[in-house]
Amino acid sequence: MDQDPLVTIARDTVDATVEVPASELTGYHYASFSGGRGTRLAGRQLAAYVMCTSLPYGQYFGHSCEHGPPPHRIKVILPRKLNDPETFVALQAKCR
């Protein structure tokens, strides 16, 4: 795995994804519900938290900071199919 690989993250579907450095993610866990609207996921998926200020500026991601001013952390999922297999396995190892 690279020192700080880019990781593709999503809120509740893969319709809106962005890439962030892996170092921006914390609190790795498996989730049955997405961040944002709390949509039920298709099985348990690798998830983590990212600060909203770490999202690429100007890219749509389904997060608006409407519930409070930044910075705050948001729950994201890491779609297996959209991430490098070696990186994904290394991130899975960080789960509690």
- Give pTM, 2 decimals: 0.87
Specify the DSSP element, H or E, that contains 91: helix 85-92
Helix/strand/coil percentages in the chain, nearest 5: 20, 40, 45
Instruction: Note the pLDDT tens digit of each residue in 58-77.
Output: 777 776 777 777 788 888 99
Residue 1, pLDDT > 70, answer no
pLDDT of residue 35: 73
- Average pLDDT of the chain is 86
